[in-house]
C-alpha cells in the first residue's frame, strides 16, 4: 500500500497511487456487501486487502529524471575523454566535475516534491553537466610559450646587423619550422608532463637556430686573403 511518506514519489504519483487504493477499497467493500456467507465475506475482505497492498509505489518521475541525468553525464564524459586537446589530468578533472554535477542534480531530484520540480531539477542538472568546460589549459599555455620564444628569436634575428636579408629570412623560416614541430608535438602529448617536455624541447630548438653571418664572413675572409696575396706579390724591377 502506498505511503504518503514515501520520499521517492512525487505529489502527483502519491495522489494517483492513493486514488488507486481508494478504488480497490471501494471494490472490496462492494464485494463484501454482496457476499452471502461468512466465508464469502472473509474471502472478499482478504482479496480486497491483497489488492490494496499490491498497489505499486513506483517512482517513475524521479527514476526517469535521474536516468536522464546519468545519460547526460555519460555523453559528456565520453566527449571529454575523446577530446584530443585535453591532457590526461585535464580529462580526469573535467570528468570528476561532471560526476559532481550529476550527483548534485540527482540529490535535488530526490528532494523534489512534484513532477514539475523533478523536471526543473533534471533540466538544471543536465545544463550544469553540459556546461562543464573542456579547456585545454596545459596545451594552450605550452603553445603560447613556444610562440613567445619564436617571436623573441625572430626579433633577435631581424635585429642582428651581421646577417643579410636572405640569412635573416632563412633563419626566421627555420624558427617557424621548429615552432610548428613543437606545437604539433604538444598537440599529440597525452599528459601534463609530456606537454611540458615538448614545450621545453621546442623552445630549446628555437633558441638553438643559428644566426651565422656566412655571407659577410665569407666576403671579409675573401678580402683578407686578397690583401695577403697582394702583400706577398714580388715587386717588378725596372731595367735601365
Residue owning grid cell 560526476 = 99
Contact 115, 64 (CB under 8 A): no
Distance of CA 151 to the CA centre of its chain: 30
Contact 72, 130 (CB under 8 A): yes
* Closest alpha carbon to 86 in 229, 160, 159, 195: 195
Tell me the CA end-to-end span of the chain in Å, nearest whole number: 145
Q: What's the whole-model pTM score? A: 0.68
- Grid coordinates given for 51: 489488492
pLDDT of the residue at 131: 98
Residue owning grid cell 570528476 = 96
pLDDT of the residue at 217: 57
Model confidence pLDDT, tens digit, residues 31-56: 999 999 999 999 999 999 999 998 88
* Burial label, 206 (beta-carbon count in 10 A; 0-12, 13-18, 19+): buried
pLDDT of the residue at 200: 98
Which residues of the chain are under the pLDDT cut of 70?
1-4, 215-240
pLDDT of the residue at 240: 44
Amino acid at each position: 500500500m502506498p505511503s504518503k511518506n514515501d520520499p521517492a514519489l512525487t505529489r502527483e504519483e502519491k495522489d494517483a497511487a492513493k486514488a488507486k487504493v481508494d478504488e480497490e477499497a471501494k471494490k472490496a467493500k462492494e464485494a463484501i456487501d454482496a457476499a452471502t456467507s461468512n466465508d464469502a465475506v472473509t474471502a472478499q475482505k482478504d482479496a480486497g486487502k491483497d489488492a490494496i497492498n499490491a498497489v505499486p509505489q513506483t517512482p517513475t518521475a524521479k527514476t526517469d529524471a535521474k536516468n536522464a541525468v546519468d545519460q547526460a553525464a555519460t555523453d559528456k564524459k565520453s566527449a571529454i575523454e575523446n577530446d584530443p586537446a585535453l591532457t590526461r589530468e585535464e580529462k580526469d578533472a573535467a570528468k570528476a566535475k561532471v560526476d559532481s554535477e550529476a550527483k548534485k542534480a540527482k540529490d535535488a531530484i530526490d528532494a523534489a516534491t512534484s513532477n514539475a520540480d523533478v523536471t526543473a531539477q533534471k533540466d538544471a542538472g543536465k545544463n550544469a553537466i553540459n556546461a562543464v568546460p573542456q579547456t585545454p589549459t596545459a596545451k594552450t599555455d605550452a603553445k603560447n610559450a613556444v610562440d613567445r620564444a619564436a617571436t623573441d628569436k625572430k626579433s633577435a634575428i631581424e635585429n642582428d646587423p651581421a646577417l643579410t636579408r636572405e640569412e635573416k629570412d632563412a633563419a626566421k623560416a627555420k624558427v617557424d619550422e621548429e615552432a610548428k614541430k613543437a606545437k604539433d608535438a604538444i598537440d599529440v602529448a597525452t599528459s601534463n608532463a609530456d606537454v611540458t617536455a615538448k614545450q621545453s624541447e621546442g623552445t630549446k630548438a628555437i633558441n638553438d637556430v643559428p644566426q651565422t653571418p656566412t655571407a659577410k664572413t665569407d666576403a671579409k675572409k675573401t678580402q683578407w686573403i686578397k690583401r695577403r696575396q697582394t702583400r706577398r706579390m714580388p715587386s717588378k724591377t725596372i731595367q735601365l
